[in-house]
């Protein structure tokens, strides 16, 4: 059977607006979050830090028509897609019309548009809301904007599976090619920084007041972020026929549900264990063949403990591969998080370097992992499993191997 490979990558992140800058920031172990100007003097917020993208140069490759017609979330997706296509050596004219699918995951959709609509409604009433904003608000705009920007037709999907949305969308992209429904898939995840998410996680007491410290005994929570990660999927045979660079091959996916609680992980990591096992079964490899685990690693007390337990159940307590979390550097980009983490994993394989979990100081007996503390580590990596765990118990694991 023809395998599915990744031939293009597009990135927008607080760590960088292109793949090179994104990688260099992470490899150097740099924090890309800090105090947010608009919240620093607001007494309603206990926590003032976040990973916001303040550099507006991200949209330089987006046409004025797209910028005006769509909201910021859709524009992130368009910009990252155009970068991914360039990376893949594909122009719009080269894409198979009717056979190019779009699969984009998100948590919050066009939430900044919704916030603006709410403000206007409060100030002026319903009649004061411009129709342009109402048109921008539709969540299906995210995938539709990509279709409009590159001029292709084919199946399009918006995948609203919370913080696992990127992995779900990429997994769906692989399936569309496996099932013969598409020849090329533009897949990934996107979310923008929003007041709704920032306030909501404040109320859940899930935000750290200073640094994100995944797997550290003194971890206090996560950092809200934003961004977009897009990958181009196609069959290995077509990629090789046109001499495309192959970043990696997707060999297994596992999608499950925790079946436990709306916001808390299953105490035994039920869904996480089953997702990893399903991905391993599809990949037809043993746990010992995984060289690195890209952790969900939010830095919250409950998530990290359960993730460590799930890894122990899958790999054995003494055989868990090196496991790190880039959320320690870029925060939690919501629906974009797992897509950005998969991108980082592909780069780790191709650079022979494991990215660190920074801000790590004190080992936790309940998280006894080699979390690659504080400094990147040179190591050959052939096979990676990337995990994402979301509210509602939505779990996604993807296994990629070096192309």
Mean pLDDT of 255-261: 85
Please state, in angstroms and rounded to a whole number, the distance separating the CA atoms of residues 55 and 21: 13
Per the structure, how many domains does the chain have?
2
Q: For the purposes of burial, counting CB atoms within 10 Å of the CB of 306, is it exposed (0-12), middle (13-18) or buried (19 or more)?
A: buried
Distance of CA 93 to the CA centre of its chain: 28
Mean pLDDT of 35-55: 93
Alpha helices in 151-260 (DSSP H): 165-178, 195-203, 236-241
Same domain, 31 and 85: yes
Residue 367 covered by a domain: yes
Residue 248 covered by a domain: no
Percent of the chain residues topping a pLDDT of 90: 84
Give yes or no: 371 in active site. Answer: no
Domain that holds residue 109: 4-241
Residue 285 covered by a domain: yes
160-175 confidence digits (pLDDT tens): 999 999 999 999 999 9
Confidence class of residue 256 from pLDDT cuts 50, 70 and 90?
Answer: very high
Whether 261 shows a pLDDT value over 90: the answer reads no
Same domain, 100 and 189: yes
Same domain, 134 and 185: yes
Residue 102 β-bridge partners: 156, 186
Mean pLDDT of 69-95: 96
DSSP annotation of 183: S
Same domain, 196 and 290: no
Give yes or no: 228 in active site. Answer: no
143-158 confidence digits (pLDDT tens): 999 999 999 989 999 9
Q: For the purposes of burial, counting CB atoms within 10 Å of the CB of 54, is it exposed (0-12), middle (13-18) or buried (19 or more)?
A: exposed
pLDDT value at position 123? 83
Mean pLDDT of 270-295: 97
Percent of the chain residues topping a pLDDT of 70: 100
Residue 247 covered by a domain: no
* Catalytic residue from among 228, 266, 332, 371: 332
360-382 confidence digits (pLDDT tens): 999 999 999 999 999 999 999 99
Same domain, 63 and 139: yes
Domain boundary among 188, 219, 241: 241
324-341 confidence digits (pLDDT tens): 999 999 999 999 999 999
Whether 263 shows a pLDDT value over 80: the answer reads no
9 CB-side CA count, 13 A: 24
Residue 379 covered by a domain: yes
Same domain, 146 and 280: no
Residue 334 covered by a domain: yes
Domain boundary among 191, 221, 241: 241
Please state, in angstroms and rounded to a whole number, the distance separating the CA atoms of residues 295 and 385: 9
Same domain, 290 and 224: no
- Nearby residues of 265 by Cβ (< 8 Å), 6 or more positions away: 258, 271, 272, 302, 303, 306, 307, 389, 393
Provide the strand spans (E) within 175-273: 184-191, 227-235, 248-257
Q: For the purposes of burial, counting CB atoms within 10 Å of the CB of 142, is it exposed (0-12), middle (13-18) or buried (19 or more)?
A: buried
Residue 23 covered by a domain: yes
Whether 399 shows a pLDDT value over 80: the answer reads yes
224-238 confidence digits (pLDDT tens): 999 999 999 999 999
* Catalytic residue from among 163, 212, 353, 367: 163
H or E stretch at 354: strand 353-354
CATH number of the domain that residue 170 is part of: 3.40.47.10
pLDDT value at position 1? 66
Residue 246 covered by a domain: no
* Catalytic residue from among 212, 296, 353, 383: 296
Give yes or no: 332 in active site. Answer: yes
Domain boundary among 241, 271, 297: 241
Q: Which structure tokens are listed for 340?
A: 């950005």
Same domain, 266 and 178: no
Same domain, 189 and 52: yes
Same domain, 160 and 288: no
Confidence class of residue 128 from pLDDT cuts 50, 70 and 90?
Answer: confident
Same domain, 205 and 288: no
Same domain, 183 and 285: no
175-184 confidence digits (pLDDT tens): 999 999 999 9
**Average pLDDT value over all residues in the chain:** 94
pLDDT value at position 322? 98
């Amino acid at each position: 059977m023809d395998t599915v490979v990744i031939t293009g990558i597009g990135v927008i992140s607080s760590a960088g607006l292109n793949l090179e800058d994104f990688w260099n920031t992470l490899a150097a172990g740099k924090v890309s979050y800090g105090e947010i100007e608009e919240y620093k003097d607001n007494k309603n917020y206990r926590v003032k830090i976040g990973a916001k993208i303040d550099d507006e140069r991200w949209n330089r490759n987006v046409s004025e028509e797209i910028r005006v017609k769509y909201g910021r979330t859709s524009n992130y997706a368009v910009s990252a897609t155009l970068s991914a296509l360039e990376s893949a050596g594909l122009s719009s004219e080269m894409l198979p019309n009717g056979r190019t699918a779009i699969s984009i995951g998100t948590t919050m959709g066009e939430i900044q548009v919704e916030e603006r609509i709410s403000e206007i409604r409060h100030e002026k009433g319903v009649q004061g809301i411009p129709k342009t904003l109402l048109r921008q608000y539709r969540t299906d705009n995210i995938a539709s904007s990509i279709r409009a920007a590159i001029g292709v037709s084919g199946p399009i999907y918006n995948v609203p599976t919370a913080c696992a949305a990127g992995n779900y969308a990429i997994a769906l992209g692989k399936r569309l090619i496996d099932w013969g429904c598409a020849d090329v898939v533009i897949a990934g995840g996107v979310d923008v920084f929003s007041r709704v998410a920032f306030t909501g996680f404040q109320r859940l007491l899930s935000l750290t007041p200073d640094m994100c410290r995944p797997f550290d005994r003194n971890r206090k929570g996560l950092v809200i972020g934003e961004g977009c990660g897009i990958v181009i999927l196609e069959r290995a045979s077509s990629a090789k026929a046109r001499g495309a660079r192959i970043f990696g091959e997707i060999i297994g996916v596992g999608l499950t549900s925790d079946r436990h609680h709306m916001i808390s992980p299953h105490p035994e990591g039920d869904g996480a264990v089953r997702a990893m096992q399903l991905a391993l079964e599809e990949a037809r490899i043993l746990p010992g063949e995984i060289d690195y685990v890209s952790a969900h690693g939010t830095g919250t007390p409950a998530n990290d403990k359960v993730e460590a337990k799930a890894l122990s159940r899958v790999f054995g307590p003494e055989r868990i591969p090196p496991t790190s979390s880039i959320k320690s550097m870029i925060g939690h980009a919501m629906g974009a998080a797992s897509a950005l983490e998969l991108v980082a994993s592909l780069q780790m394989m191709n650079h022979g370097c494991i990215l660190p979990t920074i801000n790590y100081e004190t080992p936790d007996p309940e998280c006894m992992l080699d979390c690659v503390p504080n400094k990147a580590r040179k190591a050959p990596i052939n096979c990676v499993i990337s995990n994402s765990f979301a509210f509602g118990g939505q779990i996604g694991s993807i296994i990629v191997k070096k192309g």
